[in-house]
Amino acid sequence: MDIKDGRTVKGVNFVDLRDAGDPVELAEIYSQEGADELVFLDISATEQKRKTLADLVYHVAEKVSIPFTVGGGISSVEDVDILLQNGADKVSINSSAVKNPQLINDLVAKFGSQCIVVAIDAKQINGEWIVHLVGGKVPTERKLFEWAKEVEERGAGEILFTSMDHDGTKDGFANTALAQLSTDLNIPIIASGGAGTMQHFTDTFKEGKADAALAASVFHFKEINIKDLKEELKREGIPVRV
């Protein structure tokens, strides 16, 4: 769930955002419907120099019994400590990790790899996957696969890869890039960006070799039911928790 000004939003290619509801209410619904995990990303926190709202984490923790990850504007050990104390199971860092890679090491040393997720937003420019910051607004000189390898070496427990080219398009995940990440790395890779049909989920597990798949609009706007999706994946021979 992308959060902006306390509301869940969804766009296409990181722009043209529309309201998708109250994040706490949605979290409770998805927990009841059988989601395995939830991810909350405050997409305006870094841009506006705000901290992810700790009280949102607290209220979500009151309502759900499944693990959830929170990210957005996290730049210190203290930030993570507050979020974990308020009930988050994992934290996701993105822009702050690129600007200060040592932060990954520091967080892992303090809290352990199991709760440190590094999110990477990237898009293809002249045939190269280029890492972007600040909600996809700022291109960097970092290349996706090199940065992902460094993230793993610094101890992160998971990588959440969002293809900006696929985000919100409902045309399928970036499976070629995902397959390379999964081949190159030993930590779990979460696929994000492009889910539109149940087949897209099947494809990202089989072709993209993803360890998990994240989606937003197809669930927010009732296009795919989580229980139905899990049953379909099970029929396809993909291990799922049902």
Question: Any idea which of 41-50, 91-100, 113-122, 179-188 has the lowest mean pLDDT?
Answer: 41-50
Average pLDDT, integer, range 93-109 = 97
Q: What is the pLDDT of residues 123-166, one digit of tens each?
A: 999 999 999 997 678 999 999 999 999 999 999 999 999 999 99
Report the C-alpha gap between 233 and 183 in whole angstroms: 22
Task: Clarify whether 171 is annotated catalytic.
Answer: no
Per-chain mean pLDDT for the chain: 90
Report the C-alpha gap between 99 and 84 in whole angstroms: 23
Q: Write the DSSP string, the chain.
A: -EEETTEEEEEETTEEEEEEE-HHHHHHHHHHHT-S-EEEEETTTTTTT----HHHHHHHHHH--S-EEEESS--SHHHHHHHHHTT-SEEEE-HHHHH-THHHHHHHHHH-GGGEEEEEEEEEETTEEEEEETTTTEEEEEEHHHHHHHHHHTT-SEEEEEETTTTTT-S---HHHHHHHHHH-SS-EEEES---SHHHHHHHHHTS--SEEE-SHHHHTTSS-HHHHHHHHHHTT-----
Confidence check: pLDDT of 239 > 60: yes
Confidence check: pLDDT of 50 > 60: no
> For residue 17, what pLDDT is reported?
58
For the chain, domains (ranges, CATH) are 2-235 (3.20.20.70)
- Catalytic option among 42, 79, 121, 203: 121
Question: Any idea which of 115-119, 128-132, 164-168, 196-200 has the lowest mean pLDDT?
Answer: 164-168
> For residue 14, what pLDDT is reported?
47
- Catalytic option among 2, 42, 79, 167: 2
Q: What is the pLDDT of residues 203-234, one digit of tens each?
A: 999 999 999 999 988 998 899 999 999 999 99
Confidence check: pLDDT of 68 > 90: yes
> For residue 169, what pLDDT is reported?
86
| 220 token code pair | 């927010």
Confidence check: pLDDT of 8 > 90: no
Task: Clarify whether 42 is annotated catalytic.
Answer: no
Cα–Cα–Cα angle for 167, 210, 212, rounded to 5 degrees: 80
What is the reported pTM?
A: 0.91
> For residue 51, what pLDDT is reported?
57
